[in-house]
Amino acid sequence: MHDGHDGCSGSFASGADVIRKLRIMGYDTQSMPAELSITCEGCKHAFTMQTYASLCPQCGLMYGVTPCHAHDPNAVQCAGREV
């Protein structure tokens, strides 16, 4: 039986794909085990991701990271504004 979960082996072509997967699995608004400090690709504002899907508070770009990679700031992907 396939439950839509690819475990830690899932790969995503874009940040928008990450956000869609997080929403399907119900993780988008869940708190991460540890917050991540990242710098926005758009406006260069440094901010802290507290949930698996987070918006830059300065410019509104959306970022996402899967639970399996939530410990790694390099795994965070920008999804743009319209996701």
β-sheet bridge partners, residue 48: 37
Distance CA 15, CA 6 (A): 16
pLDDT tens profile 13-52: 899 999 999 999 999 999 999 999 999 999 999 999 999 9
Average pLDDT of every residue of the chain: 89
Structure-derived torsion over alpha carbons of residues 70, 36, 73, 23, reported in degrees to the nearest 10? 50
Report the predicted TM-score, pTM, of the whole model to 2 decimal places: 0.85
User: Do the beta carbons of residue 32 and residue 78 sit within 8 Å?
Assistant: no
pLDDT at 13 (0 to 100): 84
